[in-house]
Every structure is written in structure tokens, then in C-alpha cells.
Amino acid sequence: MTNKRIPGSEAVILSLIEEGVDIIFGYPGGAMIPIYDSLYDYSDKIKHILTRHEQGLVHAADGYARVTGKPGVCFATSGPGATNLVTGIANAMLDSIPMVCFTGQVGSSLLGTDAFQESDLIGITMPITKWSYQVTKPEEIPEAVAKAFYIAKTGRPGPVLLDITKDAQIAMLDWKYEKCTKIRSYVPELPVDITHVKEAVQIIDEAKKPLLLLGQGVIIGSAENELKEFIEKTGIPAAWTLLGLSALPTEHPLNVGMLGMHGNYGPNLLTNEADVIIAVGMRFDDRVTGKVSTYAKKAKIIHLEIDPAEINKIVKADVAILGNSKKSLQLLTERVKENSHDAWIKEFKKCDDIEFEKVIEKDIHPTKPGLTMGEIVRMASEKTNHEAILVSDVGQHQMINARYFKFKHSRSHVSSGGLGTMGFGLPASMGAQMGQPDRTVFSVSGDGGFQMTIQELGTIEQNKLPIKIIILNNNFLGMVRQWQQLFFEKRYSFTKLHNPDFIMIAKGYGIEGNKVSKREDLDAAMQKMIDHDGPYVLEVTIEKEDNVFPMIPAGASVSDVMLEA
Amino acid sequence: MKQEYIITVYSENHIGLLSRITIIFTRRKVNIESLTVSESAIKGIFKFTIVIAETRDQVMKMVGQIDKQIDVLKAFYHTNDEMIYQEIALYKVRTESLYDSDTVEKMVRKAGARILEITREFVIIEKTGHKDETQALFEELNQFKVMQFIRSGRVALTRDPIERLSEFLKERDIFLDSQNK
């Protein structure tokens, strides 16, 4: 590398190229103009997606990261541009999504003066970033960017923020880039301690009713095969968390379904019957555990986790195996004995039958006239042979998506799990489609969340992203309405929506669309959308007051899972 | 059961790290009783001494969160019994109160305090010790109206014969290099 003199702004772009970045989600503004000016010279090497709002770009970067495993890269200007990223950064933090955000900042001489479009982004984002750094000198840029990428994607991933003052973008430096390979104060992952593996093996070999809980750590650690090998050798049933979805094929015989508040009946009920729980890359979120004091009391807990701070945070581990799940699972599989648990798995099947009769049958083969979310989502899945990527927004439909969409490939389910961010779905689907341009991407939203980031239809049209957008419209904020119905005496306080003509709006953006209200029209409309070359909006009017079941009421035990109201 | 814990944090000298550490307490609505930050024996590495009253379980979780911060080298927690610690207090009293009787002088002698400065108007007394000791001297001196009073945060050392920081850094370096291979 020759030591050529370049401005800081160009160093930002060259650093991104060094890190293998080929796509940026961004929105320019005053404090970012120098960087955007340099980007102009490299637009053959890096694609830039201009969204319609900064919240759109940060969720798009998130969706991109989830389907590719590569860090999502965001550009936003100082002040309001940067503060508009905050929700998306918090979302990425709670879901451990690798992301590198670049924000412009006022000139360093103006810092702290309440200058035009100055906001203390480092201060604001401290609790919601894995790491952040303010760059005030151009020569800091290469090292800061190298560190940012290293931190974002190693260990337990997360969002990182670099705030770059305008003068640091303009001033010159001697260009030289070195990738970051270690930071002395940071241990991304610990080597797996074999004594803990051996302890776990003994417990697993003696288990009569073992249950494996798989979380996103399996996907992040690319441990899908290792997981499959482990459960196939031991015959242990595996249940997934919301973010663990798609780590295993839905139809795998040992996949017993989803955990949590609206998960499947069997894995929730039988958590409290299990004698051993093997938790892999999951963090015992309160939506998974319900009431912790009554959670899995009969079970010894084996926790495979990369982040030491997660051990004993919620549920005390009898054996904790720290490190990368890929390695831990390998070491376990080598040592455990071949086994099967047919009688135990039959208990899950029994629960499945009960759930099918009480809930699933009505959801996917309804006899009442109103369309259900379940039948629509299942149809989308079937018509694409379960090969598609599903991007959810947040609410009732998110749970229905998770329950009824089927997966064959990992990294095919994109959903805001930890933060539960309404408005996430549509922009995240843009990133998912750009990360996987050859796959079908469904964006399934409710009428509430869709309107939170509806403006991104503009981005979708401008970039000709062939996303299949489904709006499940019940003219309600459905999940809140469900709680109001079940726990607040049907006092529907401000959950009713008067909605616009979504198809007319789509057409205004130059996107084709269709609205369906009758069951007999659904199949043809769905097929038309899937066959359509380009983006398409399908609005489906659904039953207004349908509820999502099963349900573990807030604060109740997992074994109190309800199948009906 | 809540009791006093001393949390010791070794970190890089990075702007903003203090804030990253303190928000871990504020987020859980835990009050910091005392906080001292200064450079350690190794140049560029800073040492935080934080005193809080909490349950062991909560302390362990918060130390885990501190340890996880990228620029933190290592965080530890100890009970008071496990460490030797001191605070320093300064008291300003009127010089006249020393003229009238030898009470103040006796108090200073008894408490093992010392006089730092004497002017026509006031005397500055310095006392190091635990909080109850510096507080006791305050109560006594206050018979003569303490004009100003200040107490520092806590500083503390473990009972280990040596500070293991440099060994720790060497080991960490070897460990990280081995991970990269």
C-alpha cells in the first residue's frame, strides 16, 4: 500500500472497501456531505441504497445482516439523521445483529456548543451499542473502522457506532489500512473448557426427558449442521426460540416447534417435565421462560453460550459451556452416546395433536367466513415450496408467521425479537432482498406496523426490489386489542385504525397491488403476486378480532399455556 | 441480602468509558455510594473503585456486564472484608477554636488526623480512614462548627501480595495471539 495523501472522507470509503463492504444503507445530510462526495467516486465498487427515512436504512441494514451474516453498514448525518437511527440500533443490540453505523458530526471545534444539527450521539447510543467511538482526526479513521468491524462481527455480534466530525472528513491523512485482529481488552470468545463438556455429556447420557432449546446463537455461530448432528445422535427433541427459527428445517423429525408466549403447546408444557434442558445460543428471554420461579424446575440446565454475562443471568446453569456453539456442539457430539427418546417424543406428538385440534386446524383450515392470518401465511409458505425468506413486522401476525411459515434453509426468518419494533418489517425486507437477491422475500406486516415505515415503498420501487409485500389488515392494532379483550374487559382503548387505501398508495409509488377480502380469491391473488416480476403489495382483509393462541399469559408459568380464551 | 461490595475495574483510558460503566448501575436503579478513578501502576491503564450496596447476585450480574464492555480489561468484586481500603476527609475549622482550649488538638491526636494548613482564619485537618471513622471525627469537630467538609471516594487494595495486572496483560496477549492461529 502506497502512502498517498487522501481526505478523511475518502479514507472512510476505502476502509469500507478493505472490509469487503459492497452495500451501504444511507441518507445524506450536511455533516456527511464530504463522505458522500468521496462515495461518488467509488460508486462502481460500493452500492448505496438511499432510503426515505433513517429508520428505514437502519432496519434495512439489520435485515441484510440477518440473511447474510455480514455486518450491515449505515450512513446518517448528524443531529436528527443520527437520532433517527436510535430505534434500529437498539433493535440490533437486543438481537445481537452485526452492524456498523457511521454518523456525521459537527466540526470538532463546535462540539458541545449546541451547534446546528449537533446531538451527542455517542452519549445517546452508549447503552445500545456494543462499542462506539468519536473520530475527530482524519488519521484515526482507518484504525477506528477496522476496530468497528472487528467488534461488530466477532464474539456475540452487535451494533457499533462511529461518529465522525466534519473536519475529520475534510482534513488529509496518509492512507494505510490494517485489519484489526485483536484488542487486548476484548475476548470475543473463550475456548471451550473440556471439563464442562464432560460434565454435560454425563448428564445428557443419563437424561430420560431431555429437551434442547435452540436460539439464534446456532445461526450466528453457523452451527446448524453441528446442531443437527448432535440431536440426531442423541435423539433429543429440539425446540426453537423466535430468533432460532430456520436454524433447523421445520420438518425435521426432532423439531418440536417454537418456545415462548405464543409458541407451540408441547415445548412450553413439557419444558416443565424435562429432566435436562440443553440451551444453545439462547438467553432465556422472559417471553420464553414466563414466570422464572416455576420454569423448568425438574431439569438440570446445560447452557451453551458465547457471552459469559448471559450465564446465570435469568436461569441458573448446572453446567455452563462457554464459547462458540459450533465448537461446543462438536465436542459434545463426539462424546455423547447414541440414544433415542421415542416415548418422550410421543408426548410432544400428543401435545401437537391437541394443539392441532384446538388451534391449528381453525387457523389454517378455517370454516368461518373471515380470512385468518394463519391460512394466508401458510399459503405463502406452500406456494414457494417453503424456500422463501420471511420478514415479519411486530404483533399478532409476527407470531402467526413464526407458527405457520415453514423453513428449509437457515437465515430465512427475519423478525424483531428482543425490541419488538413495529415498522421493522418493510425496511428489513429491503435489506433481506438485497442480501439474497435470488430468493423470494415475503414482507408480512399488519396494517399498524406497515404504516410506521410505509414510505420505504419509495426505496423498494427505486431499487426495483421484487419483494412480495403482504398486509394483513384487521383495522386494529391486533396484539394490543387481543390483550385488551383477554385481560382488560374488551376496553379497546385506542387500538382501532382507519386505514388508507393501501393499494392506491402502492400504485402511487409505482408498485402493483391487489386487495383480497374473500377466501375464494386468495389463491389466485397469492399466485399472481408470486409470479409478478417486481415488487407487489397484496392487502388481505382478515377477521377483525382473531386471537393468537396458544398463549402464556404474562407472568404465568410455561405450563399454564392456554389453548383458548 | 444487600451488603457493601467494592467493584474494581481495570480499563483502557478511553473517553466515555466512565459513562458506559455508570449506566450499567443507573439502568438497574442501583446507587453508586462512592467512585474513584485514576491511573494504575501501568501507564495508560486506569483503575475504577466503585462501592455499592447490593445483593451478591446483582453484583455478579453487573460485574459481568462491566467486564463485557470492549474497553474494560477486567472487572472484579470483593466484600469489604476481602480488601484493605481507605477514604480521605478534609475538615475546615476556625483557627480560634484551637486557641480557646486543647479539645481540637486532642481530637486530632486521638483520631490520628493531621493538620495540613493553618491560616489566621481557619485550619485544615486531614484524616484518612473508613467512612465511620471520618464521620466520627466530623461529629466531634462539629462542636466547633466545621466550616467545610469533604470526603473522597474509596481506594482499595486486595490482600494479594502483588498486583497481578502486568501478568494478566501478558497472559491476555498470549491468549489472544493463540486464538488467532
State the ipTM, two decimals.
0.93
Listed by start position, the domains of chain B span 3-83+156-175, 85-153
Neighbours of A298 (CB within 10 A): 12
Q: Do domains B3-83+156-175 and B85-153 have the same CATH topology?
A: yes
Q: How far is B85 from chain A (nearest CA, A)?
A: 26
The CATH code of the domain that includes A141 is: 3.40.50.970
The question of whether A485 is a catalytic residue gets the answer: no
User: What is the per-residue pLDDT across A408-438, written as a single tens digit (0 to 9) for each?
Assistant: 999 999 999 999 999 999 999 999 999 999 9
Give the pLDDT band (50/70/90) at residue A130.
Answer: very high
Q: What is the pLDDT of residue A2?
A: 58
Nearest Cα neighbor of B20 from A390, A126, A100 is: A126
Q: Are residues A124 and A14 in the same domain?
A: yes
Q: Are residues A329 and A448 in the same domain?
A: no
User: What is the per-residue pLDDT across A247-295, written as a single tens digit (0 to 9) for each?
Assistant: 999 999 999 999 999 999 999 999 999 999 999 999 999 999 999 999 9
A188 contacts on B by Cβ (under 8 Å):
179
B60 touches chain A (CB under 8 A): yes
**Choosing from A54, A224, A310, A355, which is the catalytic residue?**
A54
Q: Chain A to chain B, count of Cβ pairs less than 8 Å apart?
A: 55
What residues does B90 pair with on adjacent strands? B126, B150
- Burial code (b: 16+ CB inside 10 Å, e: under 16) for B19-47 equals ebbeebbeeeeeeeebbebeebeeeebbb
Nearest Cα neighbor of A460 from A516, A509, A529 is: A509
Tell me the pLDDT of chain A averaged across its residues.
97
Does B176 sit within 8 Å of A184, measured CB to CB?
Answer: yes
Is the separation of the CB atoms in A495 and A479 below 8 Å? no
Provide the H-helix boundaries in B44-160: 56-68, 96-100, 103-111, 131-141
Q: Are residues A235 and A325 in the same domain?
A: yes
Residues 6+ apart with CB under 8 A from A25: A48, A49, A51, A57, A58, A60, A61, A64, A72, A73, A74, A75, A431
Per-residue pLDDT of chain B (181 residues; tens, 9 = 90+): 999 999 999 999 999 999 999 999 999 999 999 999 999 989 999 999 999 999 999 999 999 999 999 999 999 999 999 999 999 999 999 999 988 789 999 999 999 999 999 999 999 999 999 999 999 999 999 999 999 999 999 999 988 877 778 888 899 999 999 987 6
Q: Which of A300, A316, A347 is the last residue of a domain?
A: A347
Does B173 sit within 8 Å of A184, measured CB to CB?
Answer: yes
Q: Which residue of B has its CA nearest to A306?
A: B68
In a domain, A520, yes or no: yes
Q: Are residues A436 and A298 in the same domain?
A: no
Nearest Cα neighbor of A55 from A30, A78, A86 is: A86
How many domains are contained in chain A?
A: 3
Nearest Cα neighbor of A511 from A429, A423, A424 is: A429
pLDDT over threshold 60, residue A41:
yes
User: What is the per-residue pLDDT across A515-551, written as a single tens digit (0 to 9) for each?
Assistant: 999 999 999 999 999 999 999 999 999 999 999 999 9
**SS3 state at A52:** coil
Q: Are residues A142 and A223 in the same domain?
A: no
The label of the residue with cell 466530623 reads B138
A186 contacts on B by Cβ (under 8 Å):
70-71
**CATH number belonging to the domain at B3-83+156-175, selected among 3.40.50.1970, 1.10.260.40, 3.30.70.260, 3.90.70.10:** 3.30.70.260
Structural domain span for residue A526: 369-541
The label of the residue with cell 447490593 reads B54
pLDDT over threshold 60, residue A334:
yes
Q: Are residues A115 and A200 in the same domain?
A: no
What residues does A174 pair with on adjacent strands? A5
Q: What is the pLDDT of residue B181?
A: 66
Is the separation of the CB atoms in A439 and A386 below 8 Å? no
Q: How far is A28 from chain B (nearest CA, A)?
A: 27
What is the CATH T-level fold of the domain B85-153, as seen in this structure? Alpha-Beta Plaits (3.30.70)
Give the separation between CA A67 and CA A175, rounded to whole angstroms: 33
B167 touches chain A (CB under 8 A): no
What residues does B78 pair with on adjacent strands? B6
Is the separation of the CB atoms in A101 and A85 below 8 Å? yes
Q: How far is CA A411 from the centre of its chain?
A: 9
Q: Are residues A439 and A492 in the same domain?
A: yes
Give the separation between CA A96 and CA A81, rounded to whole angstroms: 23
Does B73 sit within 8 Å of A187, measured CB to CB?
Answer: no
Average pLDDT, integer, range A23-40: 98
* Partner A, chain B 17-46, Cβ-Cβ below 8 Å: 19-20, 23, 27
What residues does A173 pair with on adjacent strands? A6
Q: Are residues A13 and A137 in the same domain?
A: yes
What number of helices (H) and strands (E) belong to chain A?
24, 20
In a domain, A183, yes or no: no
Q: What is the pLDDT of residue B107?
A: 95
Q: Are residues A438 and A473 in the same domain?
A: yes
DSSP state of A518: S
Element (H, E) at A228: helix A224-234
Q: How far is B10 from chain A (nearest CA, A)?
A: 9
State the best of A111, A137, A184, A293 to mutate against chain B, taking most chain B CBs within 10 Å. Answer: A184
Q: Are residues A373 and A520 in the same domain?
A: yes
pLDDT over threshold 80, residue A25:
yes
Q: Which residue of A has its CA nearest to B11?
A: A185
The CATH code of the domain that includes A223 is: 3.40.50.1220
Q: Are residues A531 and A454 in the same domain?
A: yes
Q: How far is A503 from chain B (nearest CA, A)?
A: 44
Q: What secondary structure does DSSP assign to A164-226, as a single string? A: EEHHHHHSEEE--------BTTB-S-PPP-HHHHHHHHHHHHH-SSEEEEE-HHHHHTT-HHH
A131 contacts on B by Cβ (under 8 Å):
70-71
